[in-house]
Structure 1
């Protein structure tokens, strides 16, 4: 599992004083981008390889409110199966408390064919640095 931290900014909060619902998705996207970057799979490297990550489905379950100034751990877990899609699930935590859980079904788009690649983990590993295998979890079984 990979994690990064963000701090809730005032302009991200709604009239009730808690984090706007859409921003939870933005924090999930930040976590997904950061785990790829940490694996040596930045946007420039993906673009050069003719690839790009796509979100096919994402949902959020709100469990506790987040407020201005809260430090939020964005913890991302990546799981691959045998097909063209994979999971990037995220927990937003304030200390030990899970404030939201996000589930995401992802794919890797081939920019030339405009189709999902058959082996997303393998393609990401080919682009990534030496730390990619550790951050991207086990191979499909």
Structure 2
């Protein structure tokens, strides 16, 4: 698979009293992109239920770079980070851009696969690992502060 991204409109309900997107919505945008990637890779909720597997997160971290506001359109991608050889544990990155192409946020999510019946970590099917491996590579984002004034 080549690059994968979703385009979303910022909704009124995504915004806080400061009139910009609330911090938790950025995480929702990343999750929406991840789940859409699973679906388009052939692993919708019915398939995952059949396989008795589901993704879990150990850590999710967002660096907020530029504010998003109502009426903005956002593009969210998914990029490959570290993926264990067996595909059991993974790291992905999401970049969130506004309609002008400005990078507004960077999310790093670390997770694994859980057997939903046993409630223990498990390995995904080879096709799902291959889908992850086919993503373009991403990297961790390091925030560089600018001088104020």
Partner of 1:96: 101
Alignment of 1:1-141 (within 5 A): 1-79=3-81, 80-82=83-85, 84-94=88-98, 95-117=100-122, 119-120=123-124, 123=125, 125=127, 133=130, 135-138=131-134
- Deviation, 1:85, is 1.1
- Deviation, 1:52, is 0.7
Gaps of 5+ in 2: 135-149
| Deviation digits for residues 13-42 of structure 1 (CA, Å, limit 9, x no counterpart) | 011110001111111110110111111111
- Deviation, 1:88, is 1.8
| Deviation digits for residues 83-115 of structure 1 (CA, Å, limit 9, x no counterpart) | 631012101111321100000001110112211
How high is the TM-score relative to the length of structure 1? 0.84
Structure 2: distance between partners of 1:33 and 1:124:
18
Gaps of 5+ in 1: none
CA contact (8 A) 1:7 1:70 kept: yes
How high is the TM-score relative to the length of structure 2? 0.79
RMSD of aligned Cα (Å)? 1.7
- Deviation, 1:136, is 2.0
Dislocated runs of 4+, deviation >3 Å: none
